[in-house]
Structure formats: structure tokens, C-alpha cells
Amino acid sequence: MTASQGVATRSRWSDEAARAAIARWGAAGEQLALRVYTSRLIGEDTDLVLHGGGNTSVKGTFRTLLGDEVECLWVKGSGSSLDKVEPRDFPALDLAYLRRLRALDALSDEEMVNQLRTHLFDASSPNPSVEALLHAFLPHTFVDHSHADAVLVLTNHADGEGLIREALGKRVAILPYIMPGFPLAKAVAEIVERSGEIEGVVLIKHGLFSFGKTAKESYERHVELVAACEALAEKKAAPRTTASVPAARPLAEIAPLLRGLLASDPGESPKRLVMEHRGGREVLAALADASVARLAGTGTLTPDHVIRTKAWPLLVGAGDDLAASVKRFRERYDVYFERAAATKTTKLKKLDSAPRVVLVPGIGALCFGKSKADAIIAADITEHTLRSKWTGERLGGYESLPDGDLFDMEYWSLEQAKLGKAAERVLERQVALVTGAAGAIGRGVCDALAEAGAALVLVDRDEAALAKAVGELEPRFGRGSAIAVVADVSDDAAVRAAFDRACEAFGGVDIVVPNAGIALVRPLAELSGADARRVSDVNYIGVLATLREAERVFRAQGTGGSVIVSASKNVFAPGKDFGAYSASKAAALQIAKIAAIELAPLGVRVNAINADAVFAHGETPSGLWQEVGPDRAKSRGLTMAELEEFYRNRNLLRAKVEAKHVGAAVVFFASGKTPTTGATLPVDGGIAEAFPR
């Protein structure tokens, strides 16, 4: 249920769950345990907060090492999400000291952060919320803050105050928009002192604070206030229209074009973005409504969304030129930046000017971030934003904060800090497609690519093995970081569909690893044309199909790319009874060299890896060695285990060649650190007769 479908928000407090919370987190104190419990209740409701939005606190006493009992504020740390908080996510602060800060006339953001950090009781705590002083200045034991959709629907309106009064009467105080920080903390404290008996404060175009003596009281007041706002919106909003717009062209076609246009710094190392698409019924209905053209020009629901979605989305109509539309957005952003930056005393560095949300009626919302995780956050915010703006419009007109306020939030150092300053991994922002991904080498390559930060499209014809591979990758690298596409590379249409899936799931592809292959042990005298064709269809024609589709997507994006073909040491050092395999791999390597020549003008590098004697990756055995091994072992009078040892001793370095080594070579080529194309890199421990020549 959602705000637009009636009153959905209600208390989910349960005495039993509260007792369980005390049992689980009671070591940190009963009050903090209950604080964690109701914080999670708020965090789990996406109509209240999304991804790190909102914050909560509790006040009590802290016992120091010397045994002193001092007043303490536990407030949510910056960067954690309410739905997953633990007691350790609530840094403990010297409350008596913080209260005294209220006497100051002004306090810069940097000094505020410094004051908070230097008055922690545990130096290893995370940074307290940017709204920590607001919590400190309020007298109440429990304080809960959300950016509830329903509150934003009413406050992002020309008569926001009137609507809130109508919904909540005298239960709350109402404060016009003030940017978070010291002045807001003081203003909230003052209005609460002047207001007598109230349950909370509504901050226009920002959100709701509620408070109470107990965790339950503050939480239940919070949800009751939100529910009353939902009820009013439901009562007053005009009914929805039910228009629909047909998709002008498929998502798989438009996504790579947009992804290319949104990349910044095209050329040597473009800063790409990864996409998440939302095209559910409600999204399509909102985009089909006549109001969408006006709403697309309005700002975010609450200011802290701006760091995820930019101030406004880009709306692209059916007949619009994509490149011209993106260019116009960038120009608008540049004006927005220059106009606001000119009023500041400090010099600001402009962030990239590309939209993060592209609305395409008939197709949906295409949301972008520097990783799949960031794109998902932008998409979740966008779904709530579309719904809330549309409700606001039906209430008489959605009205956002002016650009200047959104700018202040987007460029606030404390907001940007939430995005983290960790150095980007070498393949972050990129999407990799690997064929034969469920096999031993494929698994090793996928692991290495994911560790380097790439999102993954795993292609294989073995559905069960593929599901297992994705099932192991996703928990390690995040929801949506890897998808499975069942396809046989010898089927042109299936390969095309796999690339389309990649475009629908991530917006496109940057790294392609044609790795699917089959082996066949047979002397030439017994090798039928049908057998040779079967091997060739996968090992050679399959690579050709993969290269062809890769080129199609690379061309649409216009941001270069990298192809790393998994060839074989057999190309240079063939062995008897292995004709079909060696010849097809030789053809694949040759076609890779042609691709290197043909794709260079697109900025695409094509290289190959000749691996040898990779028997398994973890528990995944090599299909090739399952086919070839028994015969080779028999002819040498060895067991399979001895065969592995035999191959190890055969190479110059006496190295055990592993799938992770192939993965490291793929990551090296994909990183583009050297201007190399058309090359073949052996990963075989050194075999003189297989040296590339």
C-alpha cells in the first residue's frame, strides 16, 4: 500500500518484538535497544524514509571510566540506513556540552562537525548525523525524523502550511524551509519552546520530527501524524487519470544511446554510469499523465535526494532527439551551477552535469549512478518522487524548493560526504558480459571483474550452473550486481537477446569476454563434418556473433569498450586428436585480430588470452578438462590428479594455472592501462612452443 492508495501508514509496534529487541540489543542499554527497534520500524517503511534518509535519537546517561554519570545523546550516525541500524550506529555524545552550543550566534558546518567529533564518548564512532544538534537542543527523550512521502506531498505545495494545519491541527509546529545545520537546530528548538504541548514539528519541503517520552510514544505519534497527512491527501486529491503512451522504441535500444550521452569526459577514460530501469504500472501511468511535462521541471521532494537524482529529471518524449535533449539538460545544469556558485564566497568545483533520472513515457524511468547500487537508490527515490509529485499535482499543484536551496544541498560538503570518498575501483561504472560464465574459467573471470567493480552479465547455456554462479556473486557484490542470461552462443538470435538484456538491466556493456567453448577429442580420420561444425559453431561462430553484438552496443554508446577473447594455447601449440577444437580457436583468434582492426575507430580494444591447464575454479570443474582429461591421463598412464601435476611440471615456471589468473589478465586488458589491441597474452606458466608468434 502506498500513500496514493489510501491511508497505509500505521503503527507496527509490537510488545513482543520490543521485548525481543531488548533481549538482542539490551547490552547497550534498554532505551538504546528500543531506539534501535523503532528506528528500524521507520526505516523499513519506504513511504517514510529511503536509503539513509531520516534520523533518530535517544537521551540518557553515560557512565564514564571514572564512574561519572553524564548526560548523553545517542543519535544516528551519518551514512547508515535506519532499516539496518545497530546500537553501534548511534554515536554517544556529551549532551550537556552540546546544549551549551545553542548560545552561539553562528557555527560553521566544519566547526559543527568538529564540535560533534570532539565530544564523542568513543573516538571510533561514526560521524553523528548532520542533524545531531537539532536532536540535542530538543528536551525530549526520544526524537524521530523522517522524510515521509505524505508530509512532502502536503508541504511541497503553494499552501503547504494550510494543508498541514488542516491535516494535523495544533498537534505540530510548522517551520518554513531552513537548510539543515546549526540555524535549523536553533529554529526548531525555539519554535518547540514557544508551542506548548505538541507532538512534533513539520519542516516545510523537508520532513517531520516527532518526539516523546518513550520510544513507543515518539514512534506512534510519528506514524499517526503521517497517516493523517495521507488521509487528507487522499480526501482532497483529484482522481487519477488513466492515460497510456505506447513505447516509441524498445528500452534495449534507447538505454545504450542514453548511457553514452550521459557519460562524462568522453575519450580516454569516460566516466560512465550504470542504469536501473523502473517501468511498473504506476510509473508508466504517472509518465502518461499530461502533468508530466510540468512536473519534470520541478525539484526533488526533499533536499537530500538531490545528491542521488540531481535537482530535476530529464523528460524525453517519443519524437525527441536524445542528444539534443541531454545537451539541453547539461546547459540548464551549467546555468544552475553558475548562477548559484556566483553568490558563494568559496570557489566550488562543478559536479558532472549529466542527469541521473531520464523519464521516457511509455518506457519508464531510467535511473543512473556510478554503480548498480547507486542506480537502485536513484530509482527507488524516483518511484516515490513520481507518485508523490503526481499526488501533489492533483492536490492543486506540486511546488518544490527553488533551485538555489537545492543547489546549497547538492554542494553542501556534509551531503557530499555521505557519498563516500573511497577511491573508485578500476572497473567501477562499467558493465561486463561474459559468455561461458558458469564454467571454471568463466567463474574466475567473473569473480575478478566483480572485485574490480564491474557489474556483470553472465551468459551460459547451463541454467542451473548459471543460477548458482549469480547466487554466489550477488550476496558478495550487492543486489542487482550480476544477472544471468541463458543463451547458447551458437544461436545468433540468443546472443542478440543477451546483449539486449544487458542493455535493459544496466544500460549497456563496456567489457565483453567471449569465453564459451566446447572441446572434442577425435582424430581427423574420425572427425565428421557435423562434429567439426558443432565445435566451430560455438568456438568460432559464437565468438563472431558475440563480437558483432558487442559492436552494435559499443557503437550506440560511443564510449569505447574492451573485448577479451578466451582463445587457447592450442592455437600456437596444437596437439593430436584435438583438430576441431584447435582449428576453431585459431579461427576465433584470427577474427579477434580482425575485430581489433575494425573496432579501433570506435575506441574499442580487442585482445586475447591463451590459457592452459585450468582444471577447475573452486568447486566448478573445467568442462574442457572433463572432456579431454580422461583420455590424456590414460595415454600417459596417470590419474586425473596426477595429470594436473604433470601439466604443472610441464610449464617453465612450474606454476599451477588458475582461473583467477585468467581473471587478472582480463581485468588488466579491461582497465585500459596500456594502449594495447590485437595482442595475445599467454596465461600458461610459460610453454616455449606456445609463445605467441
For 118, 129, 592, the CA distances from 113, given in Å and listed in that order, are: 9, 9, 55
The smaller minimum CB distance to Zn ion, of residues 168 and 203, is found at 203
Residues 6 or more apart whose CB falls under 8 angstroms from that of 632 comprise 643
How big is the chain by its Cα radius of gyration, in Å?
Answer: 29
Residue in 333, 411, 540, 581 annotated catalytic: 581
Give me the least distance between CB of 185 and Zn ion, in Å please.
12
What minimum distance in Å lies between the beta carbon of 146 and Zn ion? Answer: 8
- By beta-carbon proximity to Zn ion, the closer residue of 56 and 566 is 56
* Shortest CB 206 distance to Zn ion, Å: 6
- Between 55 and 353, name the residue whose CB sits nearer to Zn ion: 55
DSSP bridge pairs for 366: 277, 358
**Under rule CB under 5 A, which residues in 264-303 are in contact with Zn ion?**
none
Q: How far is the CB of 147 from Zn ion (least distance, A)?
A: 6
**581 annotated active-site:** yes
Complex with Zn ion: residue 184 or 357, whichever CB lies closer: 184
Quick one: which segment of 21-29, 200-208, 255-263, 482-490 binds Zn ion (CB under 5 A)? 200-208
The interface with Zn ion within residues 127-186 (CB under 5 A) comprises none
Residue 355 CB, shortest distance to Zn ion, in Å, is: 24
In whole angstroms, what is the distance from residue 419 CA to residue 413 CA? 10
Q: State how far the alpha carbon of 586 is from the alpha carbons of 146, 232, 489, 693, in Å.
A: 62, 71, 17, 13
Please compute, for residue 491, the number of CA atoms within 13 A of its CA located in the half-sphere on the CB side: 11
Taking contact as CB under 5 A, which single stretch among the options 44-52, 56-64, 199-207, 479-487 is the one that binds Zn ion? Answer: 199-207
Residue 416 neighbours by CB distance under 10 Å? 14
Nearer to Zn ion, 138 or 662 (CB): 138
The residues that bridge with 142 in the sheet, in sequence order, are 58, 212
Distance CA 585, CA 566 (A): 9
SS3 of residue 77 by DSSP: strand
Distance CA 554, CA 364 (A): 23
Closer CB to Zn ion, 144 or 500, in the complex: 144
Minimum distance, C-beta of residue 55 to Zn ion, in the bound complex (Å): 7
Stretch of residues binding Zn ion (CB under 5 A), selected from 193-201, 206-214, 449-457, 616-624: 206-214
Strand 200-203 to 172-175 pairing: parallel
**Stretch touching Zn ion by CB under 5 A, among 204-212, 289-297, 334-342, 664-672:** 204-212
Contact 173, 147 (CB under 8 A): no
Are β-strands 142-146 and 172-175 bridged in parallel, bridged antiparallel, or unpaired? unpaired
Three-class DSSP category at 487: coil
CB of residue 199 to Zn ion, shortest distance in Å:
18
Amino acid at 594: I
Report which secondary-structure segment, H or E, holds 70.
Answer: strand 69-75
Find the part of the chain contacting Zn ion (CB under 5 A) among 86-94, 202-210, 280-288, 603-611.
Answer: 202-210
* Rounded-to-10 torsion of CA 679, 683, 687, 693: 0
Instruction: Choose between 207 and 507: whose C-beta lies nearer to Zn ion.
Output: 207
Q: Could you list the active site residues?
A: 581
Residues that bind Zn ion (CB under 5 A): 207
